[in-house]
Amino acid sequence: MLPDPERRAIFLGDFVDRGPEQLESVQLARGMVEGGAALAVMGNHEFNAVSYATPHPERDGEFCAPTPPRTQSSIVPF
């Protein structure tokens, strides 16, 4: 069965945080969004991951948000 071109999947955040297939989840959602088959809304875990990975504009060697130790292992794949 082919997908209906009039329908879109909607991903509602929290693609990342825990679990063994976080990277695969992001890749699947991204592929569907880029292909026009889905829309995605960033959740708090995605926002935090982006903040942890974005260099601070005024402090060399620091990021926009410090990464708590309990969170470090969940964002390693990215």
Q: Is residue 2 part of a domain?
A: no
List the beta bridge partners of residue 38.
9
> What range defines the domain where residue 67 resides?
9-75
In the predicted model, what is the mean pLDDT of residues 47-57? Answer: 86
Q: Is residue 28 part of a domain?
A: yes
Q: How far apart (Å, rounded) are the C-alpha atoms in residues 18 and 41? A: 18
Quote the pLDDT of residue 9.
93
Quote the pLDDT of residue 41.
95
What is the pTM (predicted TM-score) of this model? 0.69
Look at the chain and report how many structural domains it folds into.
Answer: 1
Sign for the pseudo-dihedral over CA of 41, 46, 50, 51 = positive
Q: Is residue 31 part of a domain?
A: yes
Q: How far apart (Å, rounded) are the C-alpha atoms in residues 69 and 60? A: 21
**Strand, coil or helix: what is 25?**
helix
pLDDT tens sequence across 20-49 = 888 899 999 999 999 999 999 998 888 888
Q: Is residue 18 part of a domain?
A: yes
